[in-house]
Amino acid sequence: MAGRNVFYAQSGGVTAVINASAAGLFDTIESYPDTFGQIYAGKNGILGALREELIEVSAMSAEARAGLSQTPGGAFGSCRYKLKSPNERPEQYARLLDVFRAHDIGYFFYNGGGDSQDTAHKVSTFTREQGFPVQCIGIPKTIDNDLPFTDACPGFGSVAKYVATSIREAALDVESMAESSTKVFILEVMGRHAGWIAGASGLSKADGHLAPQIILFPERVFDPEDFLKTVDAVVARDGFCAIVASEGIKNADGQFLAETGHRDAFGHAQLGGVASTLAQLVQSRLGLKYHYAIADYLQRAARHIASQTDVDQAYALGAHAARLAEAGRTAVMPIIQRLSDTPYQWALDSVELAQVANVERTMPESFITADGYGITEAARRYFLPLIQGEAFPPFHDGLPRYVRVEYTFAPKRLPAFNV
Amino acid sequence: MAGRNVFYAQSGGVTAVINASAAGLFDTIESYPDTFGQIYAGKNGILGALREELIEVSAMSAEARAGLSQTPGGAFGSCRYKLKSPNERPEQYARLLDVFRAHDIGYFFYNGGGDSQDTAHKVSTFTREQGFPVQCIGIPKTIDNDLPFTDACPGFGSVAKYVATSIREAALDVESMAESSTKVFILEVMGRHAGWIAGASGLSKADGHLAPQIILFPERVFDPEDFLKTVDAVVARDGFCAIVASEGIKNADGQFLAETGHRDAFGHAQLGGVASTLAQLVQSRLGLKYHYAIADYLQRAARHIASQTDVDQAYALGAHAARLAEAGRTAVMPIIQRLSDTPYQWALDSVELAQVANVERTMPESFITADGYGITEAARRYFLPLIQGEAFPPFHDGLPRYVRVEYTFAPKRLPAFNV
């Protein structure tokens, strides 16, 4: 006899490997047919639960299921929508409970970052208090790599591999033309609060490669004069300077660099302009020719250069979430535990959501070199295992073959709800 | 008895596959030991000839030779430096001849775009007139794909594969979050005069993928009102809109869009801002949340996602250049001749440099759809073969293993020359 049904939702910014977690979860759930019933995925995350838009995972084509772990983005849709507490918005929790009851949901898997883990925790408590206990398991995911306890967050390793590869490649280009062309190249990467991604780009600087010679971390106050002096010295030494800048760097006044200096024709501050701000500074003060790239979503969607380690961990965490539920656990999150750096060995474990919720893991101070522009050996030891292995997707007609899921919805059983 | 020596130089903007042409050239030259003597590569292109900075190819490590065709950028350095005509700068040509005489150079291979082919032509004529005939062979190279006669220019196919892959990936990300987050995504790509690269991104729109829904070509006048109307309609239909914008798009006044609107804090026009200009337009007029990426050098250095077809053609053109020289030809350029689209079949041929020099191949009008925002079936037939096959480089420690050439210079035999 099949058990209660399963609800899975993707939350927040998507990654190159979040669908691998879904694949690991689904595959493992199906291996316990006595414990779990139907699997539903929320369309656009938790909004799908509130609206009773439940995608039937069993109706997915064999091709879509097979390609799921190789496809970036959120195959079922994600959302930026945070449930408030049951006290603030009791009707939302009541609705969630109604939907869970109507579809006999006994298991809620929430695949997201810190906010989502907090929500999963609240739902676990609320449903138990209401006499319809739903086992809530968080599945970690975030390119920001800021969830505590787990060695890394799925999605991060692939971004790390992408940015390190990209700066290595672009630097070879710049270096070969620097004498008569561009001398300073800037790659802007994500990371509003922490320099995990910017830091990982430092892995490029190995095997004789010189770049990036400068990394700008949000953990360090941006000092224009010191920066310019350093750029000048690097160009004098190497002939060129490749810079990786975190979008979140701030000046001494605590202002985002992206919001300083540039204004559009209407006088509005221009956002997202760290790279162009730095470039203008380099040109106006040092008179050096520059180019810049902004990786933006390319970095977190680049499944074609995903880390096999990251894909493996994403899948394993999804699978472990299913096993935790099968073992009767609730309000927990599976994590990766690092056993050793070289060779990289890791195991699965879990932590209570109460410990996870809203705790942000910052990058250790010991990861940044004394001058503030590079990464230390400790950082390399941490980052290096996370980018190992190439998980190339299958290709068709010269491009990655990614799947798009055709949604089959479970019939609605409730009146509409105004989210 | 070995023949006269060989001089090879890389010129202009480098690509992901220019070193594959060098590898094809060197390998083939070495297969004719009776015809060719030593191979020298100019450090930083033609500047290396003028300065008598000749890198000894025979001194390269076995590892560097083996990795050459898998490494992006210009392994010997390139330059943006155009020789004027012998009438304008006779001392430059005289110097070139001195260096060629001093090192018994009988063969000059110039790996570059239109300007370089023009230079190779002039050097061929000049050296013959001066009684020291040097056989000059151009080897095509340019991501701009604007050289005439050849089916494609080495470098272009790999950029095409990169941009089509990138917009497909980023669009999956955007689509999955569009309801509650970013609705419009813009990827800015290279192409100041022609839309070859932007057009190739249209290959992403296959196998059920929706993006890019809008491509902005430099061949079309940018009409803000029509653009906004189209973005609005696409978002209404698909929920999101992915745009690929060529850096070279212009408004009705013939002004680069990148130079309109934005000014920095000092009132200077901000360059390279097509994506941000479009984004501000979308936000201010449609109120839609946007993100944008600027691929910049990442696109032309992305050897990790190079097209095997492109790598093969780059290598083959280098090899054919050597065979042309061996056959006694001068002032010619090897080209790719397309024999059929499906399956893609191609052959090597050659054209006279006199016919090539300073002729720019524009993208056919028939490649752009009537609305101006997409590519036609004719365009797909042309582009598709060029991105076929994945030429993944070897990886080490999670990153592409690219070689860096240690330069061993031939002893100088002449006094210094002021370039």
This complex has an ipTM of 0.96
- Domain housing B284: 156-301
Look over chain B and give the mean of its residue pLDDT values, rounded to a whole number. Answer: 95
Q: Which of B280, B301, B322 is the last residue of a domain?
A: B301
Asked whether residue B50 is domain-assigned, the answer is: yes
Q: What is residue A266's predicted lDDT score, i.e. its pLDDT?
A: 46
How many structural domains compose chain B?
A: 2
Task: Identify all chain A residues contacting B79, using CB atoms and an 8 Å cutoff.
Answer: 177, 179-181
Residues B83 and B197 in one domain: no
* Integer-rounded Cα radius of gyration of chain A: 23
Are the Cβ atoms of A261 and B261 closer than 8 angstroms? Answer: no
What share of chain B in percent tops pLDDT 70?
A: 97
Asked whether residue B147 is domain-assigned, the answer is: no
CATH number of the domain bearing residue B250: 3.40.50.460
Residues A199 and A253 in one domain: yes
Q: What is residue B270's predicted lDDT score, i.e. its pLDDT?
A: 46
Residues A70 and A207 in one domain: no
Across chain A, which distance is largest between two alpha carbons, in Å? 74
Q: Which residue has the tokens 């599976």?
A: A334
CATH number of the domain bearing residue A129: 3.40.50.450
Q: A254 to chain B nearest CA, in Å?
A: 19
Task: Identify all chain B residues contacting A51, using CB atoms and an 8 Å cutoff.
Answer: none
The structure tokens listed for B227 are: 């653009």
Chain segment A313-353, per-residue pLDDT in tens: 999 999 999 999 999 999 999 999 999 999 999 999 999 99
* Choice among A98, A118, A144, A310 that is catalytic: A144
- Per DSSP, which regions of A69-178 are E strands? 105-112, 135-140
Residue of B nearest to A18 (CA): B173
Residues A293 and A174 in one domain: yes
Residue of B nearest to A46 (CA): B180
* pLDDT score of B265 more than 50: no
Asked whether residue A40 is domain-assigned, the answer is: yes
Q: Which of A152-156, B354-358, B389-393 has the lowest mean pLDDT?
A: B354-358
Residues B287 and B313 in one domain: no
**Catalytic residue flag (residue A144):** yes
pLDDT band at residue A264 under the 50/70/90 scheme: very low
The predicted model gives A373-378 an average pLDDT of 98
Chain segment B340-357, per-residue pLDDT in tens: 999 999 999 999 999 997
Residues A272 and A322 in one domain: no
* pLDDT score of B260 more than 70: no
pLDDT band at residue B1 under the 50/70/90 scheme: low
Chain segment B76-94, per-residue pLDDT in tens: 999 998 888 889 999 999 9
Q: Which of A179, A280, A398 comes nearest B387 by C-beta? A: A398
- Residue B292 · residue A272 · CB < 8 Å: yes
What share of chain A in percent tops pLDDT 90?
A: 91
Chain segment B299-310, per-residue pLDDT in tens: 999 999 999 999
Chain segment A99-108, per-residue pLDDT in tens: 999 999 999 9
Listed residue (B239, B214, B211, B228) closest to B287, CA to CA: B228
Q: What is residue A1's predicted lDDT score, i.e. its pLDDT?
A: 54
Q: Which of A247-261, B60-74, B220-234 has the lowest mean pLDDT?
A: A247-261
Are the Cβ atoms of A276 and B272 closer than 8 angstroms? Answer: yes
* Choice among B98, B144, B310, B312 that is catalytic: B144
CB-defined contacts A:B, below 8 A: 259
* pLDDT score of B272 more than 70: no
Please name the amino acid found at residue B109: F
Q: B157 to chain A nearest CA, in Å?
A: 10
* pLDDT score of B269 more than 70: no
* pLDDT score of A271 more than 80: no
Q: What is residue A359's predicted lDDT score, i.e. its pLDDT?
A: 87
Asked whether residue A37 is domain-assigned, the answer is: yes
Residues A171 and A188 in one domain: yes
Residues B62 and B115 in one domain: yes
Task: Identify all chain B residues contacting A292, using CB atoms and an 8 Å cutoff.
Answer: 272, 294, 296
pLDDT band at residue A72 under the 50/70/90 scheme: very high
Residues B126 and B32 in one domain: yes
* pLDDT score of B266 more than 90: no
Q: Which of B268, B284, B301 is the last residue of a domain?
A: B301
pLDDT band at residue A261 under the 50/70/90 scheme: low
Residues B102 and B169 in one domain: no
Q: Which of A203, A297, A392 comes nearest B185 by C-beta? A: A297
Tell me the whole-structure pTM to 2 decimals.
0.97
